[in-house]
């Protein structure tokens, strides 16, 4: 079975936690700070930088492309499921065929439970 290492999963977990927080409407400044930090090759510290106010809207706009791919309620439940798969150590594996989901795909849709092949099959069934 194709498993991702914990260190490989970590940045995706952070992305998922940030997306979830934002979808729930918890935080925006905190989430933005964490995101811009983790994309810069984070050191693992969880302290919040003091220059939050300096962070512009660029990061926010980039993220919206992720969120707009689904409606928010559906996305949120997919994020929850993805976080559960991280805890179970099966994140990064397709829940349909158990194949490995390419990292490029996870970077675009970190909460996807399917590989490219299965996702396109499911989509063609839905439409």
Q: What is the dihedral of CA 70, 73, 75, 77, to 10 degrees?
A: -150
Least CB distance to Zn ion at residue 105 (A) = 11
Residues of this chain, 14-33, that bind Zn ion according to CB under 5 A? none
Residue whose CB is less far from Zn ion, 24 or 107: 107
Least CB distance to Zn ion at residue 89 (A) = 18
Residues of this chain, 82-121, that bind Zn ion according to CB under 5 A? 94, 96-97, 99, 115, 118
Least CB distance to Zn ion at residue 29 (A) = 37
Burial string for 78-102 (b: 16+ CB within 10 Å, else e) reads bbeebbebbeeebbbbbeeeeeebe
Burial status of residue 24 (CB atoms within 10 A of its CB: 0-12, 13-18, 19 or more): exposed
Binding site for Zn ion (CB under 5 A): 94, 96-97, 99, 115, 118
């Amino acid at each position: 079975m194709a498993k991702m290492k914990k260190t490989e999963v970590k940045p995706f977990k952070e992305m998922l936690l940030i997306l979830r927080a934002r979808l729930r409407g918890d935080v925006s400044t905190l989430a933005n700070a964490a995101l811009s930090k983790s994309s810069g090759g984070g050191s693992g510290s969880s302290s919040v930088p003091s220059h939050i106010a300096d962070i512009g809207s660029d990061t926010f706009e980039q993220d919206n492309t992720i969120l707009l791919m689904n409606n928010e309620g559906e996305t949120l439940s997919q994020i929850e499921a993805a976080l559960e798969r991280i805890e179970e150590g099966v994140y990064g594996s397709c829940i349909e065929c158990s194949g490995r989901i390419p990292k490029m795909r996870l970077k675009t849709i970190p909460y996807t439970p399917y590989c490219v092949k299965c996702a396109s099959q499911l989509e063609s069934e839905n439409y």
